[in-house]
Amino acid sequence: MLPFSFASGTGDYVQLFEPTASIFEKEGKGYIVASFGTESGHVPYTTFMARDSYMKENSQVIEKFTRAVFKAQIWVQEHSAKEIAEAIAPHFQDTDLAIIETVVERYKNQGSFATDPILDEEEWNNLQDIMDEAGDLPKRVDYKTLVNTDIAKKVMAE
């Protein structure tokens, strides 16, 4: 269901991404009753993919990118919800800073932010379980077939 359909009275529930869910709640259009992030367990919401050939030919680029992601993950761990909200606010120009801070605090409290650049096997299998239950997974793929954590491990060891 689309957010505007729910807001106009169609349906009893809707799944929304933030900050839309918090905006709806603040405007009295609904209540946040559960968090997909909490209920589903650790899921790789964002992954970065590259072909083996690209990784071999551009290993420095992959390492620099992974280093930047890890540096950002550490920064998020070490800073308050308020500091993070202030840093990302320009990307949510139509959203009140207090709502952004609330969302960041919620995500921090429920462990939604990845703390390292490793996609582990449990997360991989959890994602496939969710996709399979939804009927969106034509076949399961073994973790080792598609996931390479060598560069992430190298960057984390630095």
Domain boundaries, the chain: 1-33, 44-157
The predicted structure's pLDDT at residue 1: 56
User: Mean pLDDT for the chain?
Assistant: 90
| 7 has pLDDT over 80 | no
Domain 44-157, CATH: 3.40.190.10
Q: What average pLDDT does the segment 7-27 reach?
A: 82
> Does the model's pTM come out above 0.85?
no
Give the pLDDT confidence of 32-58 residue by residue, as tens digits: 888 877 777 788 878 889 999 999 999
Q: In whole angstroms, give the CA distance from residue 44 to residue 117.
A: 10
